[in-house]
Amino acid sequence: MTFLSVHRPTVAEIDLSSLAFNFRSVREFVGASVGFMAVVKADAYGHGAVECAKRLEAEGVDWFGVATAEEGVELREVGISKPILVLGGFWPGQEFTLQNHDLTPVIFHIDQARAMSEAAKRQGTIARVHVKIDTGMGRIGIRLKDVATFARDLATLSNLEVEGLMTHFAAADDLDATEFTNQQIARFELAVEIFHENGHRPQFIDMANSPGAVVHPLSRSKMVRIGGLLYGLGGDVLPSGVPQPELKPVMSIRSKIAQIKTIQSGETIGYGRTFTAKRESVIATIAIGYHDGLPRTLSNTGHFLIRGRPAPIVGRVSMDWTTIDVTDIATAAVGDDVTIIGGTGEDLIRAEHLASLTDTISYEITCGISQRVPRRYLNL
């Protein structure tokens, strides 16, 4: 063995300078006059919410978006001071957690509003909320037919302020669905008018997610919510053939060769014996598997990089190990660096590439990198 290590060599490198570059690039593209919410939910799409939020706050973001109250509390406890919007709302009993940590919830039914107003009344404050309008996504939010009643009911709660109105696009990344996106924009604008008619004066009006902000300028309004683009995940999020900001990948996944062995023609590799050698082959075993977040569906497809050259995955990806064919890389040796995501130039492996091979999106690839893989932050 030619390397020494005090820990398993599989690691996710997070380049915070690339994160900052992407923020500046997107902000310049959409216009600096528009408010900017950095979405750091799901542990910043697997990149590490704490360190990413610290860097983005230093770069000048206006808001952070998280999915849960717990994610918001985590950021407050490390000193993040910018406003935090809890996109997934909250559950009964969490209203005091929100109040005590200065977290702003998205609400989508009246019981949430009443709970927030009552909590604020007990503390002698005013609770600020953002209301989610369902304009066509079909998940959470107030349907357009119910907006007037909801707005009137909110107006009766003396300790509640509707600080923002928002919606979410279903197909902003699909140019063939532009008519539907425009319909969502029109529905949302009508909902805003209804809230105004009922005495509400929301400061923040926001529609645009990452593809909305880039592809549909009319959706930018007063604030955009940018998620995947911050992490350089634009290849399968933005439609091709349209102007878009320059982005740099933020996450790289690296490991090392743990063992090398030679097998003969006709021998098999891995569970289920799904790979049979057609020649004498040199097989390297790498310390990464599906518990680390490498999709099992990459079995016998895709490749890693060894010394800048592709080495195909052979056999099934198992829980802790993956085997690759290095027969054509004569200098490959135990301890060599292995690139799973990352690289440079034409040899670059993007999360989007792994996603395309496994019938998913890049967001799932990076979100799926487990906590067993330590994050190493570059350019802190």
Of the candidates 115, 121, 110, 136, the residue with the CA atom closest to the CA atom of residue 69: 115
Number of C-beta neighbours around residue 275 at 10 A: 22
- Which residues fall within 8 angstroms of residue 19, CB to CB, at 6 or more apart? 47, 52, 55, 56, 230, 231, 250
Which residues are known to be catalytic?
41, 271
- Nearest by Cα to 55 from 29, 90, 79, 88: 79
- Give the closest residue to 100 by CA, choosing from 78, 82, 77: 77
Distance (Å, whole) CA 57 – CA 83:
10
Q: How many residues are given for the chain? A: 380
